[in-house]
Amino acid sequence: MSANSGNFRPTISEKRWDKRIEEELIRVWEEEDLYKFTYDPRKPIIVIDTPPPYPSGKWHVGGAAHYVQIDMVARYFRMKGWNVRVPWYADRNGLPVEVAVEKKYKVNAHELAKTREGRLRFLELCKRELDAIEAELVKIWKRLGCSFEYWKDGTDSPTYRRITQSTFIELWKRGLIYEAERPVNWCPRCRTTLSEAEIEYKEEKGYLYYVKWKVKETGEEIVIATTRPELIGATVAVAYNPEDSRYKHLKGKHAIVPLYEYEVPIIEHSSIDPSFGTGIMMVSTYGDWHDEMIVKEAGLKPRVIIEPNGKMSGLAGFLAGLSVRKAREKIVEVLEEKGLLVKREEIQHNVPVCWRCKTPIEIIHVKEYFLKQMEFKEELKKIVHRMQIKPEKHRQKLLDWIESIKMDWPISRTRYYGTEIPLWTCKKCGAKLVPEPGRYYRPWLEEPPWSKCPNCGAPREHLEGEKRVFDTWFDSSISVLYASGYMREQDIFERVFSGEIPWTLRPQGVD
């Protein structure tokens, strides 16, 4: 310490930071359009594939911190003299806003969308809702001093949607998309298919019901435990573990389904846990994905008794028309009356629910469009090994996630605020018609782009526009193309994807 430190005069005399200075700075930056991206072909380039946030309310501090970190990376590369593209736009498609609007205005999207006018009105309400929340988010990141380029065209803009649709058309032409009736995760309230990423688990108190069954050939009684007695009538087999000596003598015999009185085969399956319940279980279509696997492997014929609206179907007999929950109460009553219920055990279990409305999901058969992904798992893993991932430990997360994929991806949704599936069906010959890529198509609203069916020549009136939209993750999956200027700035796009590994960076928080 020097003797005259007492005379030190700091250049900045204020002892406290004045927030008004920040506001003034932001105003100047805005005026100068300081963060507008300008491309200099002589300099290296990096595109930051900013994860578009979903406008579902104000950010909590974690969200804010995440975007500030992205900004730090952008500033680092800018200081190194690179071309840095770091856009900010919102991910606006999908179920959350629809559910919010349904609640706020007390409307039902499926009812409204029965007419074109109603569907347009519903979309307008969703848009208004999203605009308000988005404006709030933009204010927050600007106030944080983030140097993003604001793109008003979010994932619901024609600019973005035509890229989503072009991707679909390209995949369709390569034979990677097919339509099939398959078991899918289904939300009975939203009446839509959900992807594996759209399911949450809620820990809940429930019961394990021990129910008496009969073996047809020997008349002996077996006790089967289930958390879903309402699905007794959906049973297609009874199964035990081949190592389990208690049941070995039942191989090849049949069980009589209680109350429904039809017979099902008794089979062995190595996936059955002998320590769960009594070690012998009913395989119903579908109690869960474990059932689905056994049904598929054993080639059993499904017997689905839940309708898309979450009510029991005619096949459910005396439970027909009841909701799943009511049906469970009812059947337990009847089983008790008839002396078929041995006991009930209280348990804690994880119930899969819809990520938006928290309704328990059901597995039912629905006709949807699927994108092939199972056959690409190994190839995808190879790509993950070529990527640079920081910190390294997160590489395993991505690999585990790819490994966990169990089925092709159902990409169609019976909802409204989403990118339309660009497809028309000829009612005469059944042909599925996909237009040329390039523009944004709205098949439920506009005339087909052909004057007659290109397949059978039927007049235009026979061509019916697809009403469904894409799973919102189908939009999200192409964000890197959007950020890189795909279909808009060919020079930038080609430069970014010219090398072995594209010059893109994906910041990703942990979900």
Does 132 sit near Zn ion (CB under 5 A)? no
Instruction: Tell which one of 250, 354, 366, 421 touches Zn ion (CB under 5 A).
Output: 354
How far apart, in whole angstroms, are the C-alpha atoms of residue 504 and residue 73? 12
Q: Which stretch binds Zn ion (CB under 5 A): 186-194, 218-226, 296-304, 485-493?
A: 186-194
Instruction: Tell which one of 455, 476, 477, 504 touches Zn ion (CB under 5 A).
Output: 455
CB 294 within 8 A of CB 251: no
Q: Shortest gap between Cβ of 48 and Zn ion (angstroms)?
A: 33
Q: Shortest gap between Cβ of 454 and Zn ion (angstroms)?
A: 8
Q: Residue 378 burial by CB count (10 A; 0-12/13-18/19+): exposed, middle or buried?
A: exposed
Instruction: Tell which one of 112, 113, 146, 187 touches Zn ion (CB under 5 A).
Output: 187
Does 426 sit near Zn ion (CB under 5 A)? yes
Q: Which stretch binds Zn ion (CB under 5 A): 2-10, 170-178, 243-251, 446-454?
A: 446-454
Q: Which stretch binds Zn ion (CB under 5 A): 62-70, 250-258, 429-437, 479-487?
A: 429-437
Residue 301 structure tokens: 């014929």
How many C-beta atoms lie closer than 10 Å to residue 319's C-beta? 25
233 secondary structure, DSSP code: G
How far apart, in whole angstroms, are the C-alpha atoms of residue 173 and residue 83? 35
Residue among 278 and 359 whose Cβ is closer to Zn ion: 359
Query: 259's torsion region: left (phi>0), alpha (psi -120 to 50) or beta?
Result: left
Q: Shortest gap between Cβ of 53 and Zn ion (angstroms)?
A: 21
Residue among 75 and 452 whose Cβ is closer to Zn ion: 452
Instruction: Tell which one of 21, 132, 456, 501 touches Zn ion (CB under 5 A).
Output: 456
312 secondary structure, DSSP code: B
3-state secondary structure (DSSP) of residue 246: coil
Does 429 sit near Zn ion (CB under 5 A)? yes
Q: Please give the backbone phi and psi of residue 36, each rounded to the nearest 5 degrees, phi first.
A: -65, 135
Residue among 98 and 292 whose Cβ is closer to Zn ion: 98
* Distance in Å from the first CA to the final CA of the chain: 50
Q: Shortest gap between Cβ of 435 and Zn ion (angstroms)?
A: 15
Does 101 sit near Zn ion (CB under 5 A)? no
Total site size for Zn ion, rule CB under 5 A: 15
How far is CA 470 from each of CA 65, 113, 215, 495, rounded to the nearest angstrom?
Answer: 31, 16, 47, 30
Instruction: Tell which one of 326, 365, 395, 428 touches Zn ion (CB under 5 A).
Output: 428
Residue among 257 and 354 whose Cβ is closer to Zn ion: 354
Does 433 sit near Zn ion (CB under 5 A)? no
Q: What is the layout of strands, in order, in the sheet containing 504-505? A: 83-85, 45-48, 504-505
Does 453 sit near Zn ion (CB under 5 A)? yes
CB 264 within 8 A of CB 238: yes
For tokens 């938006």, name the residue: 356
Interactions with Zn ion, residue window 281-340 (CB under 5 A): none
Instruction: Tell which one of 256, 293, 357, 478 touches Zn ion (CB under 5 A).
Output: 357
Site string for Zn ion, 189-218 (x = CB under 5 A): xx----------------------------
How far apart, in whole angstroms, are the C-alpha atoms of residue 63 and residue 125? 26
Does 458 sit near Zn ion (CB under 5 A)? yes
How far is CA 301 from each of CA 167, 180, 266, 328, rounded to the nearest angstrom?
Answer: 36, 16, 14, 23
Q: Which stretch binds Zn ion (CB under 5 A): 255-263, 414-422, 423-431, 503-511?
A: 423-431
Q: Which stretch binds Zn ion (CB under 5 A): 111-119, 266-274, 347-355, 487-495?
A: 347-355
Does 125 sit near Zn ion (CB under 5 A)? no
Supply the DSSP string of 328-393, one letter for each residue: HHHHHHHHHHTT-EEEEEEEEEEEEEETTT-PBPEEEEEEEEEE--GGGHHHHHHHHHHS--SSTT
Residue among 49 and 362 whose Cβ is closer to Zn ion: 362
Residue among 112 and 453 whose Cβ is closer to Zn ion: 453
Does 184 sit near Zn ion (CB under 5 A)? no
Residues that bind Zn ion (CB under 5 A): 187, 189-190, 354, 356-357, 359, 426, 428-429, 431, 453, 455-456, 458
